[in-house]
Amino acid sequence: MAVDYICDTCGGSEVSRDAWAAWDTEQQLWVLGAAFDYAYCHDCDEETNLVEVDLQTREPTAG
């Protein structure tokens, strides 16, 4: 099942999370190391909680 993440406040999907990445010399790319709890919505310009929704139905998942 494909999912999307939306803002708990406005329902917007232009959201991001704080994270860190490490350089992988063999793959020659940045590899995600960890994603933190802090989330931000660029639609309502506020800190938010993310809601995982089914990409097709837009209904919240159990995830």
CA distances from 13 to 23, 41, 50 (A): 28, 8, 9
**Domain definitions of the chain by residue range:** 3-54
Residue 63 pLDDT level (bands cut at 50, 70, 90): low
**Predicted pLDDT of residue 51:** 98
Spatial distance between the Cα atoms of 35 and 3, rounded to a whole number of angstroms: 17
pLDDT tens-digit map of 1-57: 899 999 999 999 999 999 999 999 999 999 999 999 999 999 999 999 999 999 999
